[in-house]
Amino acid sequence: MNDGPDNVALKAGEFDSEVIHFPDTQPLVLDSGGEIAPLTIAYKTYGSLNAARSNAILVCHALTGDQHVANTHPVTGKEGWWSLMVGPDKPIDTDRYFVICANVIGGCMGSTGPASIDPATGKPYGLDLPLITVRDMVRAQAMLLDALEIETLFCVTGGSMGGMQVLEWVATYPDRVFSAIPIATAARHSAQNIAFHEVGRQAVMADPEWRNGRYQTEGTNPRKGLAVARMAAHITYLSESALHRKFGRSLQDRDALTFGFDADFQIESYLRYQGMSFVDRFDANSYLYLTRAMDYFDLVADHDGVLANAFMGSKTRFCVVSFTSDWLFPTEGNRDIVHALNAAGAHVSFVEIDTDKGHDSFLLDVPELMATMSGFLSACGRARGLAEAAP
């Protein structure tokens, strides 16, 4: 067996989603003490890598995202989840930057996850896959960058769970990150967020089709449980004012109440749609693994109870972004990150954007976010001399 990874796309330029296979001799060592070998990472790139290999931006996706940032999604047929932000002449300008996004380990869009085949049994891992942490996700991304021969990143950015990865990147590989934009995130999950995740996991595991995680080998699918988990989670991504503005108490295709349990209200129909469309593109066990990874994330505990220790001596330039109506990852948690960065002597700016769109604001058309991203990246580009190095 080869010592190096197979199927590596080193050619600069835009191409379809790539898959890289790391052999048994290059295992991913996990925080749990276990390892994954062989390891597969699926990723997507946009734009061109410059001659100096200095214009790479790593985009880290959120819980239910994947590597399809700015292209048509192969499963849903919809635009990429950050197509508003990434592309030619957009804030993350693919005419200037080389953008990389990898499906996280534990995911279900090509990277090793619970649905992948366990070489020891020839069957899907299911719950036999070791638990994954955010740090494990970042280690896998670092392995990918090593294979692509990209030593340093011009920027790492992402929102929510993606923001957690951004923070972990700077804490674990400070010399590899020139700038970082964590959005709508926190240095550790709150008790409330852990509680929401537990409700979702219990919904999945209560579905009789889950079969203790063996549903793939037994030919079933816990669709109803996963749909309920998605419905509950989706509520947390929005704000009360956004829900009221969009739906209020409007009825769904009827003039009067049915006095039954059909979807009388538009908000009920909307949540049911969100739940059922989600199960067509996401694996139930992956939902368990990734929510657990977010629950375990705690940069404070990882650095002797002092968050500033995670960033001490960092030369990375930071722009931390929060939203006024985000009650899932409120501004207070983002300010804690800023205070820790200040205490560590880091170069940091902070932007709180006034919007009523809730946690999902980072995925939506929010002009202030677009301007913040564009301005910060341009300033960092000048500081790094990308004007001369860009293609």
- Catalytic site positions: 160, 326, 359
Peptide bond into 74 cis (omega under 30): no
Helix axes 266-278, 223-237, angle to 10 degrees: 120
Tokens of 59: 């985009």
Burial of 211 (0-12, 13-18, 19+ CB in 10 A): middle
Tokens of 244: 């009221």
Kind of pairing between the strands at 153-159 and 56-59: parallel
- Please, how many CA atoms are within 13 Å of residue 15, restricted to the half-sphere of its CB? 12
**337: nearest Cα among 300, 368, 301:** 300
Angle subtended at Cα 138 by Cα 137 and Cα 142, rounded to the nearest 5 degrees:
120
Kind of pairing between the strands at 86-87 and 56-59: unpaired
The residue type of 66 is D
Three-state secondary-structure class, residue 288: helix
